[in-house]
Structures are given as structure tokens and as C-alpha cells.
């Protein structure tokens, strides 16, 4: 009888957890779908209008754990790669310190010599402080530079790197804040003269700010577990230029990014746990406006040649939407000289700039992990849409994680991306440990 009672209790817990999982992913799918609302605006009513930045390598997911969960890492339990996702959460780690190394062969659909390497580590100091550091190195492989006639100028191996230092401070037993300082260096041309213009490396200084809320006594549907809320603003820094022409000429924005994440780690029993995670992510970079191809006038949107802070704020309300065209494809003007914009398309485009990442992570006996996730980006903003799968193994203080990216389109250059991570932890301290969540 006790056995049947235990089985019924386990079944009841799994049913409640399945309901929670279904609600989580239903919400994510609902947010991802192109709904027109009362205006009837659909995805097809928006033109392709991607937001580009300098140093995009700074926003590539470096680790295999979040890489196997749809890139939903802002509110995951802490480990050494939290310095990329959310430094503030490090104060809730049960390990005193950890170091990890990650390697990602990049764009293998196009070439075989581009890769991202990432080394990161953290250490807790007392009960309320943590420090962390990371080195990111991105190699673009061998590139042959030619002139306008196709004659070879030279062979080169462009590369970029980023150094990061982080600090986190507990503001209460359940809240923490963090800050990172970064230095990034991007040498894409090797000082090559292009069109008579001397090129130079791009150099940037940047900062991240982060917040974490941690509750290891949470309950959802009668299931006990650990709830984490995380919010970060990443890569707040100077504009970047790659030439010496025009000291006052505008540079390109860094990939400044707002991320808001939630996760719940359900402790099913002594041996089994399941983590649900969802992130909302948005570039804090101005949206390119739309210009009239005949007159050169600004047809819709806002000037994006502005400062860093102004650009971050403007990114929330500057989407141009879709300008109405006549039968000849020319923009249509109103009687007052302004351009007609499809009703509701500005708001629709603004909402389409929010990316959605969802992930699941199952642990058995803190030894074996199985992960899956989905990442959604709107078609008119880049169309990165893919599933992720991954596994993790932990033995004593050593761990290894592997993830695989499954693109929805065969032509996606990210298809079949593999990530590998190795990590080593230096032990916990029962007096200060606050989390029993697998990492």
C-alpha cells in the first residue's frame, strides 16, 4: 500500500509539473506568434529591417548548458559562465568557486576554421560577495584580401577578443546585484588600406549590470523548488569605428541587450529534478529608419545617429513600421506632406524586436542532465529560429556539457552548431551554501 501511495504521489506531482510546463511553453508560443490585434497587422505587413551592431561576437552564447536550453540562461542556477548571463546570481551558488572552458566551432555550414573559445571562473568571498572573470576569443579563420581587380593582397587571420571582470554583492538574503567591466578588441582588417582609407582595430569599453532574486522555498502547483528571477543590461559602451576618417563621424553601437529571465527548478524527489526557464531578450539599439528612395527624405522612424544612452531609450519606441506604397511601389504621402504608414505596423514591429528563449533541463541524481530548448526571433529581424538539445555529465568535481543546434531552415548558417564545455568546481561550504540546484 505504501508503494502504491508513493507512486500516486509521484504521478500527481508529475501531472502538476506537466501542466506548468505546458503553460510555460504555451505562453512562449503565444508571444512568438504574429498576431495582428485589432489593426489586422500580420508578419507579412512588416519589411525586413534587421538591427546590426559592431562586435556581434560579444553576444554569442559561449556555453553548452544555456546553449542546450534555447539560450535561456538569464535566470539559471549559478555556475562559472554566469558572468556572461547574470553575474548577480553568483552569490547564490553552493560551490565556493568554479572554472570552465568552452569551445564552439562557428558557422560550420559555411567554413571550417571559425571558432569561439571562452574561459571563465568565479569565486565567492564570504557570504555576500563574489568575483568573476572571463576571456572570450573569436577567430574568423584565414581570409584572403584582394583588390578591386581580384588580385591577392595578402592572407590574414582576423580575430576579436573580450576581457571581462565581474563583481556581485548581496543586498539581502534573496536579492543580489552585479556589475561587469569589459574591454573588447576587434581586428578585422589588420590595418589594410581600403579605398585609400587607413583601417584600424575597433576598441570598446563596456559594462553590464545585473539583478537576481532567489527563492529556494518556492512552490508552484504544490511542487516545491527554487525560483530565480534575473534581469540584465549588457554591453553598455562606446560606439566603435574601424577607420581614422572623421573624428566626429558616427560609429556603430555595441550589441547592448536587455534580458529578463525566470526559472523554476522543481525537486521531484531525492534523485530527480526539472528546471523550466524562459527569457525575453531585446537589443537596446535604435531601429534603422525608412527613407524615401526617390527623395531621400525620412519617411518613417527616427534618426539613429545619436548617443549611446539616447539610443538605448529610443530603441523602445522608434520602429518605423511599414510605409504605404502605391501600384508603382512608390511611397504614399498624406495631404500634409507626411508619409502614410500601415496602421498598427509601428507597434507590431516594436514587439517583433523581442526575442523569446525557452528551455528545459532534467537532472538525474546530480550526475546526468538532459536539456532541450527553443529560440525565436521574428522573420523581419533576422529569423533566427531553432531548437537546441544537450546533455551534461558530472562526476565528483568535474563536469562536461555538450549542446547541438537544430535550425528550422536548412539554409540557416547556424545549423548543426555544436558547443562543448568542461568545468571544475572547488567545493562547497555548507555554512554559506544557499542552493542545492544542479549546475
Higher pLDDT, 258 or 143: 258
Residue 215 has pLDDT above 90, yes or no: yes
- Calculate what percentage of the chain has a pLDDT beyond 90: 64
Question: Quick one: pLDDT at residue 416?
Answer: 87
Question: Quick one: pLDDT at residue 35?
Answer: 43
Question: Quick one: pLDDT at residue 29?
Answer: 44
Higher pLDDT, 6 or 128: 128
Question: Quick one: pLDDT at residue 41?
Answer: 62
Question: Quick one: pLDDT at residue 107?
Answer: 84
User: At 113, is the pLDDT very low, low, confident or very high (cuts 50, 70, 90)?
Assistant: confident
- Calculate what percentage of the chain has a pLDDT beyond 70: 84
- Taking the C-alpha atoms of residue 317 and residue 214, their distance in angstroms, rounded to an integer, is 32
User: At 17, is the pLDDT very low, low, confident or very high (cuts 50, 70, 90)?
Assistant: very low
Least confident of 44-48, 68-72, 132-136, 175-179: 44-48
Question: Quick one: pLDDT at residue 415?
Answer: 84
Using the 8-state DSSP alphabet, how is residue 289 labeled? P
- Taking the C-alpha atoms of residue 186 and residue 41, their distance in angstroms, rounded to an integer, is 40
- Taking the C-alpha atoms of residue 281 and residue 376, their distance in angstroms, rounded to an integer, is 10
- DSSP run (H or E) holding 370: strand 368-376
What residue segments make up the domains of the chain, in order of their start? 2-287+353-425
Rounded average pLDDT over 49-60? 94
What are the tens digits of pLDDT across the range 83-93?
999 999 999 99
Residue 3 has pLDDT above 80, yes or no: no
Query: Number of H helices and number of E strands within the chain?
Result: 5, 20
Rounded average pLDDT over 415-428? 88
- Taking the C-alpha atoms of residue 57 and residue 159, their distance in angstroms, rounded to an integer, is 10
Among 421, 418, 422, 420, CA closest to 106: 418
Q: Which CATH number fits domain 2-287+353-425: 1.20.1250.20, 1.10.10.10, 1.10.150.120, 2.40.160.40?
A: 2.40.160.40
Phi-psi domain of 296 (left: phi exceeds 0; alpha: psi -120 through 50; beta: other)? left
C-beta contacts of 290-293 below 8 A and 24+ residues apart: 290/47, 290/49, 290/320, 290/323, 292/331, 292/339
Question: Quick one: pLDDT at residue 220?
Answer: 85
Question: Quick one: pLDDT at residue 25?
Answer: 46
Using the 8-state DSSP alphabet, how is residue 322 labeled? -
What are the tens digits of pLDDT across the range 368-391?
999 999 999 999 998 899 999 999
Residue 36 has pLDDT above 70, yes or no: no
Question: Quick one: pLDDT at residue 6?
Answer: 40
CA angle 361, 377, 114 (to 5 degrees): 80
What are the tens digits of pLDDT across the range 217-250?
998 888 899 999 999 999 999 999 887 765 556 7
Question: Quick one: pLDDT at residue 34?
Answer: 44
User: At 42, is the pLDDT very low, low, confident or very high (cuts 50, 70, 90)?
Assistant: low
Question: Quick one: pLDDT at residue 22?
Answer: 44
Across all residues in the chain, what is the average pLDDT? 86
- Taking the C-alpha atoms of residue 279 and residue 73, their distance in angstroms, rounded to an integer, is 7
Higher pLDDT, 205 or 155: 205
Residue 30 has pLDDT above 70, yes or no: no
Rounded average pLDDT over 126-135? 96
Question: Quick one: pLDDT at residue 168?
Answer: 98
C-beta contacts of 235-239 below 8 A and 24+ residues apart: 235/58, 235/59, 235/182, 235/206, 235/208, 236/206, 236/207, 236/208, 236/209, 236/308, 236/312, 237/182, 237/184, 237/204, 237/205, 237/206, 237/207, 237/308, 238/204, 238/205, 238/206, 238/308, 239/54, 239/308
Residue that is written with C-alpha cell 568546481 in the block:
425
Using the 8-state DSSP alphabet, how is residue 62 labeled? -
Q: Which residues, 6+ apart, have CB-to-CB distance to 387 below 8 Å?
A: 70, 372, 373, 374, 405, 406, 408
Task: Give this prediction's pTM.
Answer: 0.86
Least confident of 39-48, 56-65, 334-343: 39-48
Amino acid at each position: 500500500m505504501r508503494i502504491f501511495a508513493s507512486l500516486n504521489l509521484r504521478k500527481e506531482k508529475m501531472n502538476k509539473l506537466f501542466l506548468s510546463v505546458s503553460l510555460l511553453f504555451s505562453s512562449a508560443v503565444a508571444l512568438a506568434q504574429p498576431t495582428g490585434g485589432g489593426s489586422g497587422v500580420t508578419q507579412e505587413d512588416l519589411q525586413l529591417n534587421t538591427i546590426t551592431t559592431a562586435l556581434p561576437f560579444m553576444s554569442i552564447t559561449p556555453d553548452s548548458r544555456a546553449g542546450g536550453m534555447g539560450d535561456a540562461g538569464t535566470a539559471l542556477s549559478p555556475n562559472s559562465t554566469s558572468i556572461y548571463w547574470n553575474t548577480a546570481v553568483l552569490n547564490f551558488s553552493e560551490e565556493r568557486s568554479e572554472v570552465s572552458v568552452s569551445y564552439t566551432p562557428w558557422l560550420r555550414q559555411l567554413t571550417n576554421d571559425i571558432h569561439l573559445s571562452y574561459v571563465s571562473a568565479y569565486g565567492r568571498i564570504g557570504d555576500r560577495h563574489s568575483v568573476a572573470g572571463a576571456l572570450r576569443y573569436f577567430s574568423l579563420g584565414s581570409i584572403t584580401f584582394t583588390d578591386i581587380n581580384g588580385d591577392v593582397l595578402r592572407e590574414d587571420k582576423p580575430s576579436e577578443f573580450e576581457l571581462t571582470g565581474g563583481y556581485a554583492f548581496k543586498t539581502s538574503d534573496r536579492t543580489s546585484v552585479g556589475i561587469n567591466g569589459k574591454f573588447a578588441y576587434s581586428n578585422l582588417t589588420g590595418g589594410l588600406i581600403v579605398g585609400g582609407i587607413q583601417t584600424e582595430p575597433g576598441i570598446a569599453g563596456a559594462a553590464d549590470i545585473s539583478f537576481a532574486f532567489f527563492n529556494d522555498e518556492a512552490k508552484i502547483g504544490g511542487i516545491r523548488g527554487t525560483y530565480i528571477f534575473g534581469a540584465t543590461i549588457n554591453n553598455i559602451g562606446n560606439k566603435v569605428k574601424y577607420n581614422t576618417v572623421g573624428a566626429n563621424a558616427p560609429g556603430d553601437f555595441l550589441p547592448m541587450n536587455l534580458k529578463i529571465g525566470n526559472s523554476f527548478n522543481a525537486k521531484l524527489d531525492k534523485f530527480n529534478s526539472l528546471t523550466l526557464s524562459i527569457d525575453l531578450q531585446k537589443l537596446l539599439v535604435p531601429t534603422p529608419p525608412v527613407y524615401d528612395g526617390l527623395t531621400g527624405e525620412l519617411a518613417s522612424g527616427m534618426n539613429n545617429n545619436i548617443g549611446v544612452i539616447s539610443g538605448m531609450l529610443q530603441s523602445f519606441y522608434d520602429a518605423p513600421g511599414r510605409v504605404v506604397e502605391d501600384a508603382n511601389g512608390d511611397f504614399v504621402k498624406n495631404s500634409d506632406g507626411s508619409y502614410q504608414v500601415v496602421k498598427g505596423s509601428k507597434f507590431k514591429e516594436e514587439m517583433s524586436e523581442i526575442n523569446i528563449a525557452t528551455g528545459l533541463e532534467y537532472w538525474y541524481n546530480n550526475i546526468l542532465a538532459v536539456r532541450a530548448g527553443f529560440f525565436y526571433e521574428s522573420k523581419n529581424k533576422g529569423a533566427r529560429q531553432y531548437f537546441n538539445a544537450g546533455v551534461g555529465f558530472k562526476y565528483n568535481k568535474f563536469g562536461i556539457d555538450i549542446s547541438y543546434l537544430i535550425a528550422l531552415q536548412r539554409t540557416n548558417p547556424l545549423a548543426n552548431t555544436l558547443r562543448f564545455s568542461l568545468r571544475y568546481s572547488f567545493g562547497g561550504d555548507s555554512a554559506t551554501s544557499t542552493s542545492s540546484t544542479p549546475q
